[in-house]
Amino acid sequence: MTLADAHRDRRGIRILSPEVAARIAAGEVVERPVSVVRELLDNAIDAGATRITLEIEEGGLSLIRVTDDGRGIHPEDLELAFERHATSKIAALDDLGHVHTLGFRGEALPSIAAASDLELLSRVESEPVGVNAVLVAGQVVRRYAKPSPRGTSIAVRDLFLRVPARRKFLGAPGSEGRQVIVLASHYALAYPGIAFHVTSGNRRSVITSGDGDIRHAFAAIHGAEVAAAMLDVDFMDGEVRLSGLCGPSSVHRGNRAGISLFVNGRWVQSRPLTFALIDAYQAQLPVGRSPLAAVHISLPDDDVDVNVHPAKAEVRFRDERAVGRAVRRAIGHALEASRPVAWDETPAAGSVVIRALHANAPSPLRAPEPLQSSFELSRGNPDHPGVPARTQRALLPMLRVVGQLNATYLVCEGPDGMYLLDQHAAHERVVYDRLVARSTADPDGVQPLLEPLVLELEASVGSTLDEHRESLARLGLEIEPFGERAALIRSVPAGLGARDIVEEVTALLQKLGDEQRVEDPFGRAAATVACHSSVRAGMLLAMDEMRRLVEDLERTTAPRTCPHGRPTLVHLGTETIERQFGRR
């Protein structure tokens, strides 16, 4: 039979040429129940299934059965499906660069059949009855026609029973079973359009509706309450498109199992991308906690190679850093859009008392300006109550400064109640954005020193300086080595000059040295310089200074967080205020 014949027929499985077969990442395809399940789910999805049932007994050791309503296997293709390097999914070497299916090697079924007793029942649309086959040690020992719904059901029994050396490496049924359920959960999030029905023993564990809404699938796995709190991710960074859900920083877990990443539809385990995602939360999560997320990453075929791992557990990116950056930006954007942090309404908040209003120029309270339609944007998102809707433009509600509290917070009136702005965090954001914007050595941002200042260096700080000197120079802080234990400060970013420069720069270098993750050294340097050039807590501000700060903040890229990820403002809604006064 030629390839053309195969296409004309409804049959389609062919044996790959030795040349193509040799290029396929070879090695162990199945090593435990979870890897068998992954292969069977992949085949069901590639067959266009809309419903997939997965049953396991004893953690998959005694039984794994996957049933789908996909296109089925043609009876004449049955034997071929169990041959090595026989696949319907690719034909030529060239296809390996454009794999649009989860499978492509023609390795899975033969590997699974070789390690188990396998039974298959399948029917294609065009055939009146299905075919049932029983395989022992990879060989078809019995086959007969049998009525069957369209689709395929494959039962894998007694995995590795005939391969004691492998069986030894398997864990207890409980632990093998858990891995299967975790995998099935990731798949349910990867394919919200497929209805999954997963049972382990007689326990139903993952059941999704397949209505295509990732939030519904997420609810099926993590619960409705968490699902409702999740933020939408929808972001385009160059050619990388990201969509899905990520948790607000208030939702976290003790491990990373709640992070699902998909690349071109494929569930992937990628440490760098997982780190990038966690990094986007910066200091917002408690130490040692991980966020929840289900993020789909789509990028051009050429930018990702799926043929690098025998069990398809990993993919390789042409530019992994760019993908990581896109992940960080997408999550950062989603988090940004979800602020401000609502007032913490724990019982203690019931007794919030505003003690002092240190307004420099206390103006009598004016009647609030009439609401403008753009204010509506901050009122909430009708699709996801509790998640503020926001466009890229209206990142901050319109704020009117009322006064200053404890020489630290600006008290502002907004479209829906009161906002407290942290003057240091807000100014940090303003300075940071300015620094980054003019980092291309704008002379206005740099304040040259007539006399260079001598900076004494501790040994540890010396290496920090070497590491960051370039970034700092781009920010206007030029520091030149000067002998073993000293350096000369030649210029400082405008704004830093008013204080004790040597002390500030020393503190800055120390802080940079303490930073553990320096994924984005320039960004970190800018954040640290911004911190040191900003208005401090405890500084009295005049009314016009406060107004200018709010105006400047409005123009920044991320007005709701400081460069370290902490909030710049909190919100006390009108409704809450009215409740406090018993008006509601």
Task: Return residues touching Mg ion (CB under 5 A).
Answer: 43, 103, 108
Closest distance of CB 139 from ligand ATP, Å? 15
Burial class of residue 128 (count of CB atoms within 10 Å of its CB; 0-12, 13-18, 19+)? exposed
How many residues are present in the chain? 584
Of the pair 12, 513, the CB lying nearest Mg ion is at: 12
Residue closest to Mg ion, measured at CB: 103
3-state SS class at 92? coil
Whether the CB-CB separation of 541 and 404 falls below 8 Å is answered with: yes
Q: How far apart are CA 181 and CA 446, in angstroms?
A: 57
Closest distance of CB 103 from ligand ATP, Å? 2
Q: How far apart are CA 200 and CA 129, in angstroms?
A: 30
Closest distance of CB 251 from ligand ATP, Å? 35
Q: Is 58 left (phi over 0), alpha (psi -120 to 50) or beta?
A: left
* CA angle, 465 then 320 then 513, to 5°: 20
Given Mg ion, ligand ATP, none, residue 81, with its beta carbon under 5 to 8 Å by kind, binds ligand ATP
Of the pair 34, 47, the CB lying nearest ligand ATP is at: 47
Closest distance of CB 44 from Mg ion, Å? 9
Closest distance of CB 73 from Mg ion, Å? 12
Given Mg ion, ligand ATP, none, residue 106, with its beta carbon under 5 to 8 Å by kind, binds ligand ATP
Of the pair 33, 258, the CB lying nearest ligand ATP is at: 33
Of the pair 53, 528, the CB lying nearest ligand ATP is at: 53
Given ligand ATP, Mg ion, none, residue 332, with its beta carbon under 5 to 8 Å by kind, binds none
Of the pair 64, 295, the CB lying nearest Mg ion is at: 64
Of the pair 65, 524, the CB lying nearest ligand ATP is at: 65
Closest distance of CB 117 from ligand ATP, Å? 17
Closest distance of CB 39 from Mg ion, Å? 5
Q: How far apart are CA 206 and CA 219, in angstroms?
A: 11
* CA angle, 381 then 354 then 342, to 5°: 20
One-letter amino acid at 410 equals L
Q: What does the block give as tokens for 579?
A: 């409740």
Q: How far apart are CA 68 and CA 124, in angstroms?
A: 12
DSSP-assigned letter for residue 84 = T
The set of residues, in sequence order, having a beta carbon less than 8 Å from that of 566 and lying 6+ positions away, is 283, 284, 422, 425
Of the pair 124, 425, the CB lying nearest Mg ion is at: 124
Given ligand ATP, Mg ion, none, residue 413, with its beta carbon under 5 to 8 Å by kind, binds none
Q: Is 49 left (phi over 0), alpha (psi -120 to 50) or beta?
A: beta
- C-alpha closest to that of 78 among 125, 138, 17, 122: 122
Of the pair 47, 278, the CB lying nearest ligand ATP is at: 47
Residue closest to ligand ATP, measured at CB: 103
Closest distance of CB 187 from Mg ion, Å? 14
Given ligand ATP, Mg ion, none, residue 38, with its beta carbon under 5 to 8 Å by kind, binds none
Of the pair 69, 237, the CB lying nearest ligand ATP is at: 69
Q: How far apart are CA 578 and CA 584, in angstroms?
A: 6
Closest distance of CB 88 from ligand ATP, Å? 3
Of the pair 29, 226, the CB lying nearest Mg ion is at: 29
Given ligand ATP, Mg ion, none, residue 205, with its beta carbon under 5 to 8 Å by kind, binds none
Of the pair 13, 229, the CB lying nearest Mg ion is at: 13
Angle between helices 173-190 and 214-222 (to 10 degrees): 160
Residue the block writes with tokens 């498109």 = 241
Closest distance of CB 312 from Mg ion, Å? 9
Q: How far apart are CA 64 and CA 228, in angstroms?
A: 33
Given ligand ATP, Mg ion, none, residue 492, with its beta carbon under 5 to 8 Å by kind, binds none
DSSP string of 250-287? Answer: T-EESSGGGEEEEETTEEE--HHHHHHHHHHTGGGSPT
Closest distance of CB 106 from ligand ATP, Å? 4
Given ligand ATP, Mg ion, none, residue 468, with its beta carbon under 5 to 8 Å by kind, binds none
Given the rule CB under 6 A, which residues bind ligand ATP?
A: 13, 39, 42-44, 47, 68, 70-73, 81, 87-89, 103-109, 152
Of the pair 89, 429, the CB lying nearest ligand ATP is at: 89
Greatest Cα pair distance in the chain: 94
3-state SS class at 59? helix
Given ligand ATP, Mg ion, none, residue 153, with its beta carbon under 5 to 8 Å by kind, binds none
Q: How many CA atoms lie within 13 A of 426 on its CB side?
A: 26
Closest distance of CB 43 from Mg ion, Å? 4
Given Mg ion, ligand ATP, none, residue 416, with its beta carbon under 5 to 8 Å by kind, binds none
Q: Count Cβ atoms below 10 Å from residue 260 Cβ, excluding itself.
A: 25
Cis peptide before 563 (omega within 30 of 0): no
Residue the block writes with tokens 């359009």 = 193
One-letter amino acid at 206 equals V
One-letter amino acid at 504 equals E
Q: What does the block give as tokens for 527?
A: 């954040």
